[in-house]
Amino acid sequence: MVTRIEQIIKNLKDYFDCKVIGSYLFIKDGYLTMQEINDVDVMVSDIPTLNKVIVFLKDNGFEEIPDPYTTGVNRYGDFDIGSLMFKSDSCELPIHLLIAKSDPPKVWELSDIVSKKWRNRSESDLVQLKLIIERTKTK
């Protein structure tokens, strides 16, 4: 069965060519679970697309929530980050919107995300890295 967040993500990819980045990508390979991440980072290509995505999210029951973590933070380097966090009572995880700085937008590999998490060294990033390492299959 498809979860609400999976359906929203599919629609964002299909309708707006959004890219999912960050910890959510580790779920499909079994390195993390939905309960072990705090949001879904979604990259949009430009401001006009961002505005359309915001309307889409609001039409689907999401509301923008203040989030001090995202305000004025640029820890990713490849993205402009604003206070664009959206939450819905009917969805498992909030959606964090990011705007790509490059054209075409750079899509990260899992190794890039691990590297960024190591450099950030926030508590949640370190916990996730530990889980990813523990669940990595060795040859």
Distances in Å between the Cα of 23 and the Cα atoms of 13, 40, 65, 120, 123 are 17, 7, 20, 13, 14
Task: Taking residues 97-110, report their average pLDDT.
Answer: 71
Q: Residue 82 — very low, low, confident or very high, per pLDDT cuts 50/70/90?
A: low
pTM of the model: 0.79
Residues 4-23: tens digit of each pLDDT: 999 999 999 999 999 888 88
Helices (H), the chain: 4-16, 47-59, 110-120, 123-135
> What is the reported pLDDT for 106?
63
> What is the reported pLDDT for 57?
96
> What is the reported pLDDT for 32?
94
Residues 105-132: tens digit of each pLDDT: 566 678 888 888 888 778 888 899 999 9
Cα(73)–Cα(60) distance, integer angstroms: 27
